[in-house]
A = this chain, B = another copy of it.
């Protein structure tokens, strides 16, 4: 239908025309309107405490203690059970978060402004590897690190980012794609490129050499530091493409460990959900698929803008890392995602494919027609609260989300699919 083609062309134009710039880093309560006490934003579509998986509950218990809303983990669980906390998706507040995706008032958040459209998006700082809250960790070590992020790294980074006057992020991602990053499982290039931009400003705004050294060390040793930046970019790019009447392009994909949810431009803020699948991949020594929680996190926002599994051809090393076959077969992942997307991003190209742009703009019609669902590169959390990461792999978005969305989309347009 011509109306749909026109609407999709406009949605794709907006997706591609965005200009995401890292402009600030401030406590969440300052950036996110309406975020207050006892208010916990989480990854994925809406979900009640009763239906939450282990790691999501673990993270909520931890963050409630961190914010001073509970005296210990047990107290936090009891309070959650009793309805003392307000749970809402990050996505309802222009925000995203990896895995459990905790966002609460005192955590520092990255602020990315899409200068082409004026909207802003937010995401907490990446905590590094090991035992971390995004994988459901909630012990003293996890909370102490969050306190250091809040009290030391966050303020230092905030000063440095403001001193730069804003860091355009599209060129960094473009370069990362020529350096083996796909911005989901692998962010080592972009993390390093961002650090070398930030380091001089950190030095200029720091008053304490040892604290500065610790900040540089923390970022420098965290290959996934840029993941949260890339996710904020994804959110900043997709929001302006939402709410276009007649557009069948996906504007969000996310998971809360129980449900997978998508949003489609033409159907606005409605979530289409289905049970989330189990990632297929590699486990850390001592763990198996029996330990794994179904997939979680808002991080699939990077696939929504053509990165992650969609850009696998740029990152042959990732294919082996997540146990998805031979490195030389990386290109087939990208080509396959090209079957379900509306176009290619000519600013984000893949050298190995002779400059082909990453496939962008998932069309729910193409997903249903071809039977090809989006692939998502992902980490794997332990299914019990407090345990952390046990592996990494690839997960498929459930087809049911797309068939439901297409039915609603067609009904709204008064057509039959």
Contact = CB atoms under 8 A, between A and B. Distances in A.
Interface of A: 175, 178-181, 188-189, 192-193, 195-197, 199-201, 203-204, 206, 209-210, 212-214, 216-217, 219-221, 316-317, 320, 326-328, 330, 351-355
A203 B196 contact: no
A212 B216 contact: no
A196 B178 contact: no
Of all A-B residue pairs in the complex, the 3 with the closest CB atoms, nearest first, are A196-B220, A192-B192, A203-B213
A181 B188 CA distance: 14
Identical chains in the assembly: 2
B201 A220 contact: no
**Residue among A213, A351, A355 with the most chain B CB within 10 A?**
A351
Given A189-B192, A317-B351, A352-B352, 17 more contacts: A175-B188, A180-B189, A180-B351, A188-B193, A195-B196, A196-B216, A199-B199, A199-B220, A200-B214, A200-B216, A201-B213, A203-B206, A203-B212, A203-B216, A204-B213, A320-B351, A328-B353
A178 to B, nearest CB: 5
Nearest to A192: B192
A212 B205 CA distance: 11
A386 B395 CA distance: 57
A270 to B, nearest CB: 41
A188 B188 CA distance: 12
A316 B220 CA distance: 26
Nearest to A217: B200
Contact of A188 (B179, B316, B328): B179
A355 B317 CA distance: 9
